[in-house]
């Protein structure tokens, strides 16, 4: 029993318990949950084992995934039927299940978000020539396929990138403001501030849409539809700034 306990504990701590088999090389039998619980006495190790089982189950189910909130969330989400408007029931983070980008990015498409960096392995590459980004090819504008338009494209990219960054900062400010208002509203003798909290949530969503609209606009090739998009974006910016 001490040998089994040490063996199973090591496999659990190394996160290899799901594929664990009998230590005898000729035997491929896997220890059952009941057997593991009867051998391992540490509650902490058993808790790690149960988490490993849960992770393995989620990874095996194509319709399940973990919430992608970068701040951390242990909620399991059902993919079926979820669209851009669906949010995690625990932290309200809105995920995209069609690509590996950590959040929903409407109106920018999934292809827009993966032109420059693979969201799964962080490999940087040029989406025009598919060459890796190196010191001599660190961005789209140094690509040999676009030399003649490099200067114009660089200025255009900088403009959209600055706008996108500005909207993300504004979104972070709205989130911070909502958190501060929430702490105030919890204090006694303070009248309800629900309307302010709702306004902050609208600001967060609006700034998020504006940020990804910059990505969409930058990559869009349809000049006719872009006139409408730019008009709608300008209108949304005016109303957002007013709010």
Q: Residue ranges of the domains in the chain? A: 1-57, 61-104, 111-242
Lowest mean pLDDT among 35-44, 120-129, 192-201: 120-129
Tell me the C-alpha distance between 141 and 148, whole Å. 10
Higher pLDDT: 37 or 141? It is: 37
Tell me the C-alpha distance between 68 and 50, whole Å. 21
Asked if pLDDT for residue 142 goes beyond 50, the answer is no
Roughly how many angstroms between the first and final C-alpha of the chain, as a whole number? Answer: 67
For the stretch 19-52, pLDDT in tens is: 788 888 788 888 888 888 888 888 888 888 888 8
For the stretch 154-179, pLDDT in tens is: 777 888 888 888 899 999 999 998 88
Q: What is the pLDDT of residue 126?
A: 54
**Average pLDDT, integer, range 112-116:** 57
Q: What pTM did the predictor assign?
A: 0.48
CB 87 within 8 A of CB 103: no
CB count, 10 Å around CB of 9? 20
Asked if pLDDT for residue 147 goes beyond 50, the answer is no
Tell me which residue of 210, 212, 198 sits closest to 238, measured CA to CA. 210
Tell me which residue of 112, 73, 127, 114 sits closest to 95, measured CA to CA. 73
CB 58 within 8 A of CB 64: yes
């Amino acid at each position: 029993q001490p040998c089994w306990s040490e063996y199973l504990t090591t496999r659990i701590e190394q996160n290899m318990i799901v594929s664990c088999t009998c230590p005898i090389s000729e035997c491929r039998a896997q220890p059952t949950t009941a057997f593991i619980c009867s051998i391992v006495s540490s509650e902490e190790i058993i808790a790690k084992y149960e988490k490993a089982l849960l992770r393995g189950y989620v990874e095996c189910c194509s319709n399940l995934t973990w919430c992608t909130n970068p701040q951390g969330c242990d909620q399991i989400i059902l993919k079926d039927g979820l669209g851009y408007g669906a949010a995690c029931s625990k932290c309200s983070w809105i995920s995209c299940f069609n690509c590996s980008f950590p959040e929903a990015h409407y109106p920018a498409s999934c292809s827009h978000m993966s032109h420059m960096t693979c969201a799964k392995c962080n490999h940087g590459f040029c989406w025009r020539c598919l060459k890796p980004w190196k010191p001599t090819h660190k961005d789209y504008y140094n690509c040999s396929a676009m030399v003649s338009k490099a200067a114009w494209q660089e200025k255009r990219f900088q403009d959209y990138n600055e706008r996108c960054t500005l909207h993300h900062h504004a979104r972070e400010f709205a989130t911070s403001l909502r958190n501060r208002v929430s702490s105030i509203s919890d204090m006694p003798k303070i009248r309800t501030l629900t309307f302010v909290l709702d306004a902050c949530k609208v600001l967060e969503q609006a700034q998020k849409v504006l940020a990804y609209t910059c990505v969409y606009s930058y990559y869009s090739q349809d000049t006719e539809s872009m006139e409408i998009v730019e008009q709608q974006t300008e209108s949304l910016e005016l109303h957002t700034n007013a709010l």
